[in-house]
Structure 1
Amino acid sequence: MSWIFSSLLLLGLWTLMVEGARREEALDVLEGRDVTLECHFSNPRLLSGVLYWMRHRNGEVDNVAFGDQALDANYRINFVESESRYDLTINRATYDRDNGMFECRSVKEGSGSVLHNTVVNLTVLIPPGSPHITPQKPKAVEGKPIELTCSSSGGSPDPQIIWYRQGSDEKLRSVLKPGGGRDEATTSVLTISPTKEDHGNEYRCVVSNRALAEGERMETSVTLDVDYYPRITIGPANPMRVERGEPATLTCEVDAKPPVKNVRWTRGKKFIDTRQTLFIEQATEEQAGRYICQADNSLGILREREVTLDVLYGPIVTVPASKDLEEGQNLVVTCNVTANPSPRTIEWYKVDDESFRQSGDILRINSVTATNQGNYVCRAVNFLAPTNQEGSDRVGNATVAVRIRHAPGKTFIKLSTPVAVLDEAVVLTCGSNPPGWPTPRYEWRRHDSETPLLVGPNYTIPKAAYADEGTYTCTPSNRLGKGTTASMPLKVYQAPSILESLPETSVESIGATDVSLTCRAQGKPEPKVRWVKDGNEILPADGLYDVAVQQSALGSNGVYTVQSKLMFQGSKRKNSNQMMARDRGIYECLFSNEVREVGTPLFLRVKHAPITVHKNNKVAFDVGENAVLVCLMQSFPNPSFQWFRGNNLIHRNDPRFATNETALQEDVYASQLYISDVTDEDYGDYTCKGENTIGEHTTTLKLQPKGPPEPPVEIQLVSIGTNSIEVKWEEGFNGGIERTKFIAQIESELGSQQEYDCQYQNPCVIRNLEEQTAYRIKVRANNIKGMSDFSAPLQVNTGVEAASIPEPEQVYFEILNRVVSFRVRSTNLLLVGQIKKKPQGTSEWEVISSEYPLSGKEYEEIAIDEKYPEEIQVRLCAVGMEMLCGPYIEAQKVDVLPARAYKSSGLQYWVGIIIGGIMALALIALILLCCCRRRKGSKLKKKAGEMEVAHRGVSSQAPPPPYYTVGRDNKAMDGSLQNGIEDVSKPSIYNSQQPFTYGQMPPSQQNNGIGYMDNSYSNSNNGGSVNSQDSLWQVKNGGVNPGNYDTNTTQPPQMTPGSDPRYPYDPMLHGGYGISGYGDYSHYPPSSPHQTPVPHQMQMAPHQQPLMGKDDNGYYPGVPQQNGYMANGDAYASVQKNRKRMDHVDGYDVSGMPDPYMDHQMDPNMAMHDNMQPQQDNKPQISFDESLESGYSTPNSRNRRIIREIIV
């Protein structure tokens, strides 16, 4: 039953919701258009109620339809029950009738309850009226708010009104007041707080509603007129910097509305001017400061700005005029400086002493001396940077004369001129250093007179004469003492004076013979003479002139008279002495000596027939142009001209021809032939004839149409650069066209070609070339008519930078062979060697070889003639450019050139291979040797270990063997110590003495002395110290009865190591000194219980005892023992040894070093005993490192160092 109840409850709720449903919507319609208001029912049951439409407008409610009946003729009901639709259609909607709310209802009959309700808000759309802004011409004052109102009426719905500022799409905030209908205006109020920037701004009011099409809107605008307070711009800069004494201009520009009539300038609350521009003619420090400009435009606020005038000036320096001190006092001078801006630096310096400098405004010198006297300058510098000008330094200085009271020092004399000249004034000035203070009194004398000539610093000779020659002395003095006496020899010279001058002009005829010019002058010293023509010196070697000079002494004053004669003769003249037209010119004879140079000029003219001097015999003009043919001839006297066409004389009265003559410089005359309106018949040859009283001359000029230019000729080199070449050429005929271009073709030595456009330039600089490269250069001409052929080529090489030229290295001069040798680093440059020498006894350098070609080898050798030059220098230069060189390098003088390894690179290569091979072989041999020695060492250690085991249980010990010294116990008195290193019996520290011919010790007395050192086997070098017990053991061992020795001549039997049963001590195992556990008592090692008899074959005569190396067990086989030795029965006797230098033996007398003489001096008779069994060794063992370490050497694991113990 529960589900039935739930279903009924849901149905009831649904019914209630349907009956009370209300829908609401909005709808727009343009006025005059039809519109349908829809009323749809979702539940058909609702149609059973009463249906009607109502209209709500202006607070009134009217029924406009009931059921299916419309109550207005313009309304129509569209009731479709099957579609549950009850619509109201309005025909030609009007605002007054239809603008409002329409409601569709379904009411239940009998109860009146609303079953359905649909509300349609119908808006009849009407476009808004045109917007209007008030005020139309808004006037505002800066800072005071103003309202702009935009209104629009007659629109439906109420329009939207939006404000914009000109140039911006941003909406401005405003207050909108809707009208509520078309009969009331909708307004929008924009409030503006105006500023200066708002002046002239345009404000737009935009109006729109839904009646307007999309994007359509209505707008209007107004322009805001704002009065604003003054804005002052002061300048031209702030601060305004101007240099003192310069004009200054301050400006006060005012922007205001309404504009100001004038401004007010004040300074220090004092009125100055009312003009906007304040002009100061000359700025002074007093005029610097703050200037204020005020402006008022009657809006109630006074504005003002200030500008600072900064007057700049350089340092004004003041110091005391002088400062007098005694020697030893301290000098302190303050430098007062005023400047704007402040000086960057203040420093002191001393006049005529560049080494003296002090920074700061105080000059301080402690304990002054005479050398400190002088003029000291305080120098201050600041930097002035006036407005709108470049800055610059200003310097101010002042000088203080520091005067130290002292006597004058070393005196000197100076001449006012380099030399004293006859009849001219000369002044001798005397001074001293230090100068002396108070001011010294200067006394002048001549060497040949005791009478003073003058007192004063200057001795003036107003008009020097030969009688004034001599030696002058000057001695300064003051109350503190005298200075030294200085002397100066005075020589009076005479400037060259012309005794015989050349005439101003001279006229000669061509072909004249034996013409000469003569001039004469005198002077002291002897004048030198030279001739010049048109500014160029005449050289007789040119083959056109000859010069003869004669000189003679005049009196005994050294005055000479010199006469020179210029003769017009030479190998290049006709008949060697005839005058030529080219002799015309200005000649000058010049005399010079140490005083000056003087000369006498002459203008020489040569009479000759006319000579053609123009270059081209062609002219080109096109048909219809006016042609001009120019004929240039040099002639003296002046010529007359005639023109011919073929053989026909051209008359001056011909209307198409005209002539004109003009005199030019240097006797050159020009004649022009004018041809008007050229025709084809006018082309051809024209003859120009010049004639004077000497003769006549003709030349032919060809008139032709304009065409391509002719090739250039005579290309010449102007200059060479590292990457450029400048060339010039003689231009060919230009084809009648004035502007001719030139193109250079450049071909390198590698075959590459390029063209360079010289344009109209002649000379032409060709750039972008390779350094020190050979080029072939050809030039051709080009104009609008065409191009010429190439000229003949010019061969030239580019240069090289001097910095890239290498210096010669390892420069030697071999005295014996007179050869200069040097090394040249590898370079791509083409170089030559240049050598100069300074012969002995001279200071002048002489170039020996200026262009020595290099062979290309690493070492160059150049033979010279000089055997004993003072100096030799070598440098390298670029080929073809003698002046483009590296620095000179001085040669080292040697008797014989030092050996230079491997001058050939191929030899170096093979030597490297050989050395490498030898080193490889040596390395292999070293490795093999190390392996062998390591194998032997391992055997020795193994056997030593076995011996050590055997020794451990032995306690009995025999007395030590006797100690045999080689001399006195006091080593300082033993002369053998000095010769110890030469002892032939000491090839190794492990060797014992060589056998001697004394009596043989009985076998019972023989000890195993193998390996003993000659003098000692203790820690004492070469025989023990004063504390050593070696001598005691020597005495104890000497207790053996000497009578027991065999006195016959039989040689004692030889013993092998360990043959002494009483004392089997082996220093080889101890390293020749006391070991750990024994110390200096290493003489008491345990005795060996095993002894091996010496085979008879091992017994040798004394003279057969060899020096041997160790055997495989580390022993020295066959070495004689010392056991029975006593010199003549005296255990203290010196051992007699052969003296032999052993300096060459490496490691001689050093513990642990092998004997280099042992291995290779084995007795051949020992070879048969190689199979002998080694003796068993039961001596105590020590480690390898310990066994080799002693006072003589460092451990074997490190590098050996030899140490000598010297006992005094």
Structure 2
Amino acid sequence: MWSETIKAASLLLAAVTVLVFQGSASAEVAALTLRMSAGPQTDIQPGGRVDISCAFDPPATYIFWRFSSNNGVTWNKLALCHADSGKCSLQEQFKNWTDRLATRVNGSLTLWNASKEQDGVYECEGIRNTDAAKDNRSITIVTPPAQPTVTAADSDTATEGSRLNLTCQSVGGNPPPQISWSVRQRSQTEYSALDSMSPVFSWQPPAQKFGSTVASVSVLTASSANLAGIVCHTAHPLANATSNELLIKVLYAPKLPRVASQRAIAGSSVGINCTADANPVAKLTLLKSNSTLSEASQPTLLHSVPSVTRNLTGAYSCLASNSIGSARRDFSLTVLYPPAVQAPSSVMVREGASLQVGCNVEAEPPPFTVNWRHPGSGRLLGNSSQLLITAAARTDAGEWTCEAQNLMSPSDGREPRNGRGSATVQVTVQYPPGMPVVAFTAGTSVVQSGSRVALVCRPSLLSPGVPEPGFSWTIRTSTSTRVATGPALTIESTGLEDSGEYACVAENSAGRGPAASVSLTVQQPPRWLDDSTATTTTTTTSVGVGSFALVCAVRGRPACEVAWSRNGRELDPGAYSVSREFDPALFVTRSTLRFVGPSRSILQPKDNGAYGCSAQNSHGKITRTFNLVVEFPPLIQTSTTKLALDPAASEISLECEILAQPKPKVTWEVGSNSYVSNVSQDTLTPYKHRATLFGVRSHGRFTCVARNALGEARHSVDVVPRGPPDPPTNLRMLSPPNWDRVSLSWQPGFDGGLQASMWLRCTPPPEGRSADEPIRIEHDSSLRTVAANLTNLLPATNYSVVVFARNQLGSGSNSAELRFTTSELAMPTVTGLRRDGNSATTLLLDAWPAGYCLRVEAAASVKKSQTQQQQQQQKLDASERQWRQVKLQQSACDAPSDGRLTGLDLSTLTYRLSLCLADRLAVCGPAATTENMSGFPEVSSLTIIIVAAFCTLLIICLVAILVFFCCRNRPLASKEAASSGDAATSAARASELDSPPARRDSRLRRHPEPDLMASTYKSFSSGKPYAMVSPHPSLTSTDETSIDQTNKVFSTLLSANHPIVGNNSSLASDCIEMELCDCRNYDLESGSDNSGTFLHPGRQRKVIYEVVV
């Protein structure tokens, strides 16, 4: 049975396989496909060209072309192409297209010089065997339409509110144009849409191609559409056109706009304008109080009044009428005029009497204010037409003006105008004159002798006096008193005798006023006290004199200011002192120049020169020059002690610069020979001289000897062969060294006769330089002192520096050695270093400040299998390990955002981390190591809560145990307390418990820890909360079981891996203080007691601990 089933399945599979292969064979016969295109474009103008291509795949045997002129409604056979024969033939009815159409057997058709009759759809169909494929393309012969025309269906005239029908016709155009409408309102130039005329549009396409396109519109007429122009527009690809404008006419009744009432100012021109909008034109009539003023049969009636008067105020009407209807508008005209004021012209009153004056005012509109104004004082009295002054004063004199004011607001759009009217009354008040005013009209109160002075006396501005006063003068001088009259007083040429007081008095019929006076001072310009006209004097003295002085005495009024100078420049205040004496009776100023000061006390050679004394006051300046000649023995200024003689040169010259007064005689001594030298004098510094010895051809010592009457001076110059440079001298620091640089200076030695370069050698070398590599110092050889900055140093480092010179013949000797130590640089340390959980490849640390990079170094770790002593020794030897720098996976200069360092091997290596300057990676801060580092991960808030709950529960259990042991061992405790030894022990323990926290802290730190652990406990002294572990003060017991249990409990608490007191727990920032009495033999790491008890060595004690969190 199973064999038959398998056989049937095999036959079925074979049949399916045959069908699949047959289907694959039949699918290999491809169907006929067509790709049709036309170009370059299908819209062409008459005479244009277009190519239509039909690409058959595989090539068709027959290609049929058909043409439809009515968009495919009917088709006409156009041409037939036979691929085998390679021929194409046009149908008979299209034979006339032979010169404009061509077909080809490859499926292409070309139209050229196209005409309107060729506009239509072209279809090509290909046949191959039994397959066929066809497609078509539309070819449009584009022709522009003619200009459209607009006509009215019935009439171009309509009554307001009726409809008007218009037609727009455009002939030709293929494709048919689009037609739109627009209107130009009366008196406008721009066209707009017909939206305001409620249009109804219709459109009729051409009945045949290239026929007429017709569009119609029906509009609702209104008065605003009268004489409006309507046009239609055709839009076509070839051209846009606009029709003729058709003006429509609308008949409507008169429309009178509102005529505003007018207000006009008297004397102004007024135009009354009646305008009626009507068709046909309306008759206009202007009425005043129902009386006709004027008529007109035109759209506008203008009635003008050149100058309105008060009698034209009244009511007016404007009437318009035509065959359609009539309209009327009423308005008014008001004539405005300013106030008219009348008042007396003048009044007179005595000082203290009463005054009353009135004025009369008329105005339209009535005035809103009437005031009396006194322009002289700015006073304004009340709102009344009456001026009343009960007691006239001097200040009441002058013009009083009665002012009335109204507000005239014309209706012609102009700004409102204040109408003003006034009348002036002259009020005169008589009173005696006050103190006059005396002024200089020529000269001033202080003049030079011989000047012209003119004085004038004027009435007081505040109290001039009425009537006008007369004037008299009283002149008081040191020698006489005289009198003059009149307002002016003139002195043609003043002298010292004219100095004095000039008083003027004003007087009139009402009385005499107080006197006014001025003082006249006659002054003189500076003059020398000795009346000498000489401007230059010469004084000779000797160097070393301490009491020498130059004196300037001058007379002048006002007092003169005396200034000293040397050779045209200001004096050095450190080398001179100037004293000044003034005699106010004689106006004599005496200035003394002494040659002493903070920097010297006697005359010096450099005091030679021209000393200028200038005296000046406000009237002039005089100057006198003292030529001071200070004689002194010769001083040789030449500092050169060596010169090299170039073997290639035949000779050299030696120069000797000398300061001497008088001029010295100079000789050169060479061995036993002496030569007299010519001496030249400096033109700027007369006591500076120069002697030159020419033609030196040999080596040796040459001595310059300068002599004058006061002494002699010598200076020797050694002429030597060329050689290496001499060592520099005076190497020193210009300022204390910084942490990374120091500023140095020194004086170069003799260059050996060749151009020498300066070199510096630093030990140890600066960063980036080798140990034996000297540093070249660029310097100016013309300077006697060289300054340089030595950079790239390390902080807190001892350095030794020497300098030397080098020329073509070799290097010179070193200078004296300079030693210095760079300053320290405060650097941050790595903080928060801890393990990331139990990971052996990741560390956690705090972010470090910007500008620093992390340096990580690795060394072999302390092996756990070693003894404790070996481990401790290896920790102490950490500085001697072979540390190698570790390349981090992340950037060493950017703090990781998650605080993690990855890619480490904490299981076999110990790491040392430090922060270095980003721009000086060799400058690093203190290092932190990973030894004894906490291995616990950061604890979350939930973990802290759980640990706190566990600690609370533990404390409750410990309290319960405490109560249990207290109750159980009370008799034993009493017995123990009776013994004297235990009492002493208890006292000692109490003393230990009473010890201050600082002592307990010191006992805790007796166990040495690495730097990392020291940084971990740094917060202990900061005053933050901490965990304290101490023995309970009230209990001691000898129960060994309790001691063991307690030790186990607190050994767990003290373990570095316990979450309560571990370095990486939630209390990692807190301090753990342990009060263990005598902890000398207690191991904090293991929590075991090596001495037997805490209180007594060799004895077992039960100690209850109190844990406070």
* TM, length-normalised to structure 2: 0.31
TM-score (ref. length: structure 1): 0.29
